[in-house]
Amino acid sequence: MSSYGRQKKKTGGQIAITILLYVIAVIVLLNIAIPLFFGLISMFKNKNEIFTLDFHVFPQVWSTDNFSRLFYLQYTTIGVNFFASFGMTLLVAAIATLLSLFINSIAGYAFARLQFPGKKVLWIIVMATMFIPGITILLTSISVVAAMGMMNTIWVLIVPGLASAYNIFFFRQAYLGFPKDYDEAARVDGCDSIAIYFRIYLPNSATPMVIMGAGTFMGYYNSYLWPTLTIDSNHAQYTQIMTLINRLFNEASTLGYGAVLAAAFISLIPAVVVFAVIQRFIKEGISLTGVK
């Protein structure tokens, strides 16, 4: 076979693979988009129209009643203000994200740049926690926060998840890429280790901060199991949005599935905003995790 034929055959194979990849991408996209589309449309249907045998893609009568019901949840058997719960969830996620970024970044800086006794052993211990499934220490964690008097408070939603081995690892890898000349120049100017962190490392940590901050924020925002186990129904002011949506689903037979879909749609807004903010940082963030 001539070199021209081999090149032609190779090009044809590449085209076939490209077409196959596009077909797979379209199938995946349709599997995501179709249920999302019908969910969005169903938010504007009344209770009876969603499950009627006389199916229509679009509502016969467009209605915003499903959104209106969310304003009156505290007067139903649910007894929780949806928008207060939404705001509390955002508050918890925001506070936790700020604290987590500070704790994990300064820990990553310490492991990357400081020398102290037992550093290698401590690093091994920190990394080992990455391989422990959270569910295996769930009961122990509940016992600890109960002994500390944190149950049914906002702090039980924030404090237990602040330190993260993965986040510390990420920041450490990022800070290992900083030139050591920065540290030496700062020490000549009289800066100690803490001053170097606040004046050099922290101001130049935009990419790892955004990447880790987005992941931490969404982790807290989407938390369901932990708030369910640590906040009881008598403390509705601390109800988190995912817990509330689950309760709405359980009451859907009376409240209406359209209202549940409306609540779920509103809960998606922060995730969309976060993704829009971080997408340009994702490529840079991947390069920061390379082992040095």
Q: For 101-146, what is each residue's pLDDT tens digit?
A: 999 999 999 999 988 899 999 999 999 998 888 888 899 999 999 9
Quick one: 29 and 54 in the same domain? yes
Quick one: 154 and 185 in the same domain? yes
| pLDDT at residue 228 in the model | 92
The pLDDT-based confidence of 10 (bands split at 50, 70, 90) is: low
Quick one: 44 and 73 in the same domain? no
Residue 258: how many other CB atoms lie within 10 Å: 24
| pLDDT at residue 288 in the model | 53
Q: From CA 158, how far away is CA 142, in angstroms rounded?
A: 13
Of 17, 50, 66, which residue constitutes the final position of a domain? 66
Q: Which residues contact 73 (CB under 8 A, 6 or more apart)?
A: 79, 80, 81, 82, 248
Q: What's the predicted TM-score (pTM) here?
A: 0.83
Low-confidence winner among 1-10, 116-125, 171-180, 281-290 (lowest mean pLDDT): 1-10
Render pLDDT for 207-230 as a digit per residue (tens, 0 to 9).
889 889 999 999 999 999 999 999
Q: From CA 101, how far away is CA 164, in angstroms rounded?
A: 10
Question: What CATH number does residue 212 fall under?
Answer: 1.10.3720.10
HSE, side-chain direction, 13 A CA sphere, residue 245: 20
Supply 242's token pair.
Answer: 């995912």
Q: Span 259-268, mean pLDDT?
A: 89
- Asked if the model's pLDDT at residue 41 lies above 60, the reply is yes
Amino acid identity of 148? M
Of 29, 48, 66, which residue constitutes the final position of a domain? 66
Quick one: 59 and 87 in the same domain? no
| pLDDT at residue 35 in the model | 86
Quick one: 159 and 275 in the same domain? yes
Tally of domains within the chain? 2
Render pLDDT for 145-159 as a digit per residue (tens, 0 to 9).
999 999 999 999 999
| Higher per-residue confidence, 10 vs 16 | 16
| pLDDT at residue 292 in the model | 44
Q: Which domain holds residue 279?
A: 68-288
Contact of 216 with 242, CB cutoff 8 Å: no
